[in-house]
Structure 1
């Protein structure tokens, strides 16, 4: 069996970071032997640390997305992979464990949940036209205009193509820790209440994302219909359609409930790994932390653009929190604009 890191104490697993560069170097040589015909692919795959394989794959994909983005001048190449790669990496950990006779229900459970997460998010991205060749995140144009082409090229090399790809590996590293725990401490592979809480919590996060994205999709479909026909679709408020942005349903409590679900999903996976490794925190938390930072920055930019587009959005920002609902909003049944009548207020 391929060598995974060995530990005498389960607590040490989360505190000792693996030698990433050494692992990737070994992975590179293993797969170079495959390319040169010196060994079979499955043998190299099975004998390579699965985290190293994921990182090596992300390096290759980073280079490819950089080349494609510069040739096509479309910088949303990583966006098209965003909902797919994390699930592939986690399923890869599960498959590797199976080949090497490492039994872990936690890894397998995480793989199933990740696939569900991936299918839902990929579908949502597809129906918004994300996989059309000409589709590109509108924020890249804003950034490119603000910093200039030379600086944007550097940003593409560092952040857009490479750092984002590495992040998609980093957020899956808690599952790698499940694998290391299963190999070193097979007796710990007993389902606990905590396993149930974390796994079901992740599913609830996916459900939250589903309803939030569906409400947003339905609203924009209704808004488009309203613009075309000048008729208010059944179940929608004319004032809300005129304002141009969604602030009812889940969006009356959070300005980005879908982002809440997305961040919660990966934070719960990390917290699950912290519990399994018997530690308050572990090195896999860097992925979740970077994910939170990314959402802070990207959401700030999104709202900057939105507030300039819709004049009433700043009022909405004052009364509704960006992510986690305020206690007052919950008590009042959500946000409503001052010009809405009492009946509308009660309906919320």
Structure 2
């Protein structure tokens, strides 16, 4: 049977009961697909007979060598980034489809899928609008990293992390959806708590939209200013001269979009725990790995940014990386400025004016 027989909601979170018994299906799946690749009816039978978690896991493993091959041929190592905005939604849609085909209760999964589609639309639009920007990793980071690694070591890094680990991660963060799927046969339907979880996720996407738009508006204004030497309406020359945005949500957090993005997958994990009535379960691996990835990626990004902009280190001291700083460790009160770092003229040691954040 493709789905484990669970008698209680807590059993939906049991790794030993809902995952381990189905791992052997992973070994037989490739041969089954090869033998039935031209028979849609048999493919559907295989799909329904295979545990949906194993199907999703197998797909993530299949993508890894594809990402590796394309990246090495094109010498562009952002292949996973290009799929970052759609893969989690594909996995969530897979779980929802599986539930529909088996006649299970799908209200909770459908609400989750609706959020996931909105998340994908937002991220895909932002990716293409910025010409290749991705929430996960950007190509310039990999190019910068290549300067520190030999070609052989970078190839190993591409195999193990860029292509494989990241592909696996995008599968792993959606595993709470599998837990919700397992709760469906027990007759669990949407509750008030489920509605709250869904709306919180939508709200976090909205925060990302506002943060991205503020960043986009600033970068466009800076581009116009550098091209025409004219300060666009609603912008300050000092802000544009500084080179990076410190207003709006960016006055409270150095990475408000990243903060919301990490929160999304933590909330999804908590939703899965709530559904199965446990405080924690094995799917925390996805959210935890996502947080670790963002910590490392953001550290490397800021290292590059601090080398590019002289005022960025002071911005780091005054504004929290992800969460706002409740108490500033620097002199001066930001309350009258709504925590908005501004540029003022200070005196260099040699008497020449220098810009600094206030």
Q: Report how far residue 267 of structure 1 moved.
A: 0.8
Q: Report how far residue 338 of structure 1 moved.
A: 5.8
Which of 66, 72, 76 is residue 78 of structure 2 equivalent to? 76
Equivalent in the alignment of 2:162: 160
Mapped to 1, the partners of 2:23 and 2:64 lie a distance apart of: 17
What are the superposed Cα offsets for residues 285-309 of structure 1, whole Å, 9 maximum, x if unpaired?
1101100000000000000000010
Mapped to 1, the partners of 2:25 and 2:109 lie a distance apart of: 21
Q: 3-state DSSP class of the match of 1:40?
A: helix
Equivalent in the alignment of 1:62: 64
Q: 3-state DSSP class of the match of 1:75?
A: coil
Which of 329, 335, 341 is residue 340 of structure 2 equivalent to? 335
Q: 3-state DSSP class of the match of 2:23?
A: helix
- Would the aligned equivalents of 1:54 and 1:169 in 2 still touch at CA under 8 Å? yes
Structure 1 portions without partners, runs of 5+: 341-347
Deviating runs (4+, > 4 A) in structure 1?
Answer: 36-39, 329-332
Q: Which moved more, 1:191-200 or 1:292-301?
A: 191-200
Alignment of 1:65-144 (within 5 A): 65-130=67-132, 137-144=139-146
- Would the aligned equivalents of 2:265 and 2:287 in 1 still touch at CA under 8 Å? yes
Whether 1:178 aligns to 2:180 is yes
TM-score (norm 1): 0.91
TM-score (norm 2): 0.89
Structure 2 portions without partners, runs of 5+: 329-333, 346-357
Q: How many residues align?
A: 335
Alignment of 1:1-348 (within 5 A): 3-17=2-16, 18-19=19-20, 21-35=23-37, 40-130=42-132, 137-183=139-185, 185-186=186-187, 188-189=188-189, 191-328=190-327, 333-337=338-342, 339=344
Mapped to 2, the partners of 1:80 and 1:323 lie a distance apart of: 24
- Would the aligned equivalents of 2:2 and 2:48 in 1 still touch at CA under 8 Å? no
Q: Report how far residue 172 of structure 1 moved.
A: 0.6
Mapped to 1, the partners of 2:117 and 2:343 lie a distance apart of: 43
Cα RMSD for the two superposed structures? 2.1
Q: Report how far residue 32 of structure 1 moved.
A: 3.2
